[in-house]
Structure 1
Amino acid sequence: MTNTWQYYLLKTISRIICLLPYPWLLAFGRLLGRAYYRVAARQRERAIAQITAGLGLSRPEAERTIRSLFVKLGQTFLEVMYLPALSPAKVGRYITIENRHYLDEALSRGKGVAVLSAHLGNWEWLGAGLSMNGFPVASIVKSQPNDQHNRIINEYRQHAGIEMFTRGTTELVAAAKALKNGRVLGFFSDQDAGKNGVFVEFLGKMASTPVGLAVFARRLAVPVVPAFIVRRPEGGHRIIVSPPLEFTATGDDAADDYTFTVKATRIIEDTIRRYPDEWLWFQKRWNTKWAGEQA
């Protein structure tokens, strides 16, 4: 028996959500997030433990922050289901881009742009917001375990005008071509990279970190522009764009890649510290053990 029914169930839910006024969407999302916080005990406790260790919060502070995170995740889920209803006009109301001139200037170099980002805020609306503001967006995506979830989210990304490449496949070659063709390519550099990563201190603990962004920056001389999305108190989102992160080549490729990866990681760290209830704290960021770690 196939699981295609999940796709059609999600599509039905999505069609209903797309009929709602946006303020209602946020209100229902808050209720959904509060329920999620109560029932998802494993994710909740992992998030509390990791934010306590990473930011040095007390237990009450950690619980408040993670409760806020879960509320925002409830809103994010409904917003993702709302993607088919997004239009450039709605994006103009719900998403503001701060310092977009950094992206414009980087694109004008004619080499494409690598965007440094993280699983912070509604990252699906980050890509959609940039795309619907006229940027030629592409993304390297990680396949989800459920193929029907993949099917619907990729369909919605395409609806938003995003070109997709799958991580860990020969499509990475196509992603490099996309950069050469002037696309804006997103790199989410905050996940455990397993045995293929390099170990960098992240929120006080060594973590296996993706090095792909550094490799692209070195080999293609592509500008790297940090961009993150966070929620506005009144509803909607801010896309915060920062100055380009320059790659310095000394001739030692491995050392240069590592130095650049550390710089990129510090930017992600600093953003998480500013917006602690926006980052996905229950992800297994430190899953790969560092050789120097105490047993």
Structure 2
Amino acid sequence: MKDIVYALLAAWGQGWDFDTVAARGELLGRALWRVLPGRRDMACEAMGRLLGLAPEQARAAARASFGHNGRSFLEILLSHRVDPRFLRERLRIADPAGFEALRAHEGPVVATTGHLGAWELLAPVFHLLLPEREKQIVVRRPKDQALHELTTRLRSRPSLEVLDHRNAAPRVLRCLHRSGTTAFLVDHNTGTSEAVFLPFLGRIAAVNRGPALLALRAGALIQPLFLLREGRGRYALHTSPGLDTRTLDGSREARIHQAALFYTQAVECMVRRHPEQWYWLHKRWKTQPPAGWTYAPPQT
């Protein structure tokens, strides 16, 4: 029954255009602001403490982030509208030379991004801009099976494979060894067994080591990518210089640390530039290192 309800809601939502999703997403964000006081207070406190904002500034920025997050939740319904016309009329590539360097790269690529801006639209943009490449995205599977099946269907494309993060490593490595591209969201909290503990926005966070390990095993380029909003219905694709993991020195753990720190700092840089577009509702710093642990980068 649940799958039928989800399918009907998705079919209804897929009839919306970009302006409708923007307006209804902002309404959803305002509703979340009202009904989630704990997450609201958490976001205000974190933005004040970690970004150095005064209380009123932090509250305004947090409120804006709820509006952006509401839009992010609904933008998955627009995936089918990301087409060549979208690229021409709605997308700006912020660094054309940097993007062309990525397009020209002949080896494997681990693309990293975060819950920032229009992250749900990044997959179809990724699909269209790199048509010749074998491509994957690795996502965290929700507990709701019907929701998982729906979101996988909405995200998938003929040349874009959507993988559940559990047991994804063999398929990711096969893709990378064929000089393909695999994308990961790298700014979510993770369990201690999967984590390398690194500073993020001035506080220690559990960072998923998996993308770093897979990139190292394949000798891949780690390429940060972000799709930010520029007003209603317009977007900008941001890249920054990538990291060739073949150039890293030191022990295995030291190289994992360097690679994970690289993509964590790339996310932090974009969050500081566009804090209102990040997912502050998430309990990012939930997992913490054991008592007595201190941060000490390994020697290379």
Fold conserved between structures, TM > 0.5: yes
In structure 1, list runs of 5 or more residues that go unmatched: none
How do residues 236-275 of structure 1 correspond to structure 2 at under 5 angstroms?
236-247=234-245, 248-275=247-274
Distance 1:168 1:100 in 2: 35
Q: CA deviation at 1:288?
A: 1.3
Task: Give 1:57's aligned residue.
Answer: 53
Matched, 1:188 2:182: no
Distance 1:85 1:263 in 2: 33
Task: Give 1:179's aligned residue.
Answer: 176
On the 8 A contact 1:200/1:207 being kept in 2, the answer is: yes
Task: Give 1:280's aligned residue.
Answer: 279
Structure 1 residue runs of 4+, over 6 Å off? Answer: none
On the 8 A contact 1:214/1:257 being kept in 2, the answer is: yes
TM-score (norm 2): 0.87
How do residues 202-213 of structure 1 correspond to structure 2 at under 5 angstroms?
202-213=200-211
On the 8 A contact 1:13/1:81 being kept in 2, the answer is: no
How do residues 1-295 of structure 1 correspond to structure 2 at under 5 angstroms?
5-106=1-102, 108-135=104-131, 136=133, 137-159=135-157, 161-169=159-167, 171-195=168-192, 196-247=194-245, 248-292=247-291
On the 8 A contact 1:193/1:209 being kept in 2, the answer is: yes
After superposing the two structures, state which structure 1 stretch, 129-138 or 64-73, moved more.
Answer: 129-138
TM-score (norm 1): 0.89
Change (3 A) 1:218 1:19: closer
Q: Name the aligned partner's letter for residue 9 of structure 1.
A: V
Q: Secondary structure at the match of 2:129?
A: coil
On the 8 A contact 1:198/1:258 being kept in 2, the answer is: yes
Change (3 A) 1:107 1:19: closer
Change (3 A) 1:102 1:183: farther
Q: Secondary structure at the match of 1:96?
A: strand
On the 8 A contact 1:84/1:159 being kept in 2, the answer is: no
Q: What is the aligned residue count?
A: 289
Distance 1:193 1:59 in 2: 29
On the 8 A contact 1:33/1:72 being kept in 2, the answer is: yes
Q: CA deviation at 1:205?
A: 1.2
On the 8 A contact 1:106/1:112 being kept in 2, the answer is: no
Q: Secondary structure at the match of 1:82?
A: helix
Change (3 A) 1:290 1:193: same
In structure 2, list runs of 5 or more residues that go unmatched: 294-300
On the 8 A contact 1:118/1:268 being kept in 2, the answer is: yes
Change (3 A) 1:156 1:46: same
Distance 2:264 2:285 in 1: 14
On the 8 A contact 2:220/2:244 being kept in 1, the answer is: no
Q: Secondary structure at the match of 1:114?
A: strand
On the 8 A contact 1:230/1:238 being kept in 2, the answer is: yes
- State percent identity of aligned pairs: 24
Q: CA deviation at 1:157?
A: 1.0
Q: Name the aligned partner's letter for residue 76 of structure 1.
A: S
After superposing the two structures, state which structure 1 stretch, 104-113 or 65-74, moved more.
Answer: 104-113
On the 8 A contact 1:37/1:70 being kept in 2, the answer is: yes
Q: CA deviation at 1:177?
A: 0.8
Q: CA deviation at 1:216?
A: 2.3
After superposing the two structures, state which structure 1 stretch, 62-71 or 241-250, moved more.
Answer: 241-250
Deviations, residues 117-151 of structure 1 (Å, cap 9, x unaligned):
11111211011111122344311111111111111
Change (3 A) 1:165 1:287: same
